[in-house]
Amino acid sequence: MPYTPILGTLGYILSPDRESVLMVQRIARQEDDHFGKYNGLGGKMLPEEDAATCMVREIREEAGIEVTEMSLRGTINWTNFGPKGENWLGFIFLIQRYQNEPWRENVEGPLSWVRLEDLPTLSLWEGDKRFLPLVFDNDPRPFHGVMPYANDRLLGWSYTRF
């Protein structure tokens, strides 16, 4: 059986002083698979999009800002993820520059600036705590990881960098 994951993007927007990141607290919809968790911004890729175009669109739709500089930090293969047990292949971006002020909230919940050092204290998916340090480190090489889940629990985490 061919592997046909959902393709998506996930972006982390740095504050101008590079000390904080814009996060959404997913509390707007009780039926949200991510309900109660903090997350970066992003979503599913459309058939006519490449990964970068998808990320720029998602940031515009979810925060009201225009990306002017970003870098691909890595990819993650999430298997059996979330309540529906879906397979996702995510392109992880760091947004270093943008225009406009971000919204205070979107349809998923409030947006807030969180100090990078405080990220591990938030209600995050278990796996996010594993890959987030790679998003913000100074290694220029992208990471490529595999993160299997079962029943909303992380089973493992491995990655490579070249």
**Domain membership flag for residue 85:** yes
Coil, strand or helix: which one is 147? strand
Global pTM?
Answer: 0.96
**Domain membership flag for residue 19:** yes
Query: What residues make up the domain containing 115?
Result: 6-161
Residue closest to 43 by CA, chosen among 34, 32, 55: 55
Q: Is 32 a residue whose pLDDT tops 90?
A: no
Which pLDDT does position 153 carry in this prediction? 92
**Domain membership flag for residue 103:** yes
Q: Predicted confidence band at 77 (pLDDT cuts at 50, 70, 90)?
A: very high
Residue closest to 22 by CA, chosen among 126, 98, 134, 125: 98
**Domain membership flag for residue 92:** yes
Check which CATH number belongs to the domain holding 141 and give it.
3.90.79.10
How many domains does the chain contain in total? 1
Which pLDDT does position 48 carry in this prediction? 98
**Domain membership flag for residue 127:** yes
Cα separations in angstroms, 50 against 7, 8, 55 = 10, 10, 9
Q: What is the pLDDT of residues 128-145, one digit of tens each?
A: 999 999 999 999 999 999
**Domain membership flag for residue 16:** yes
- Other beta carbons within 10 Å of 83: 12
**Domain membership flag for residue 1:** no
**Domain membership flag for residue 131:** yes
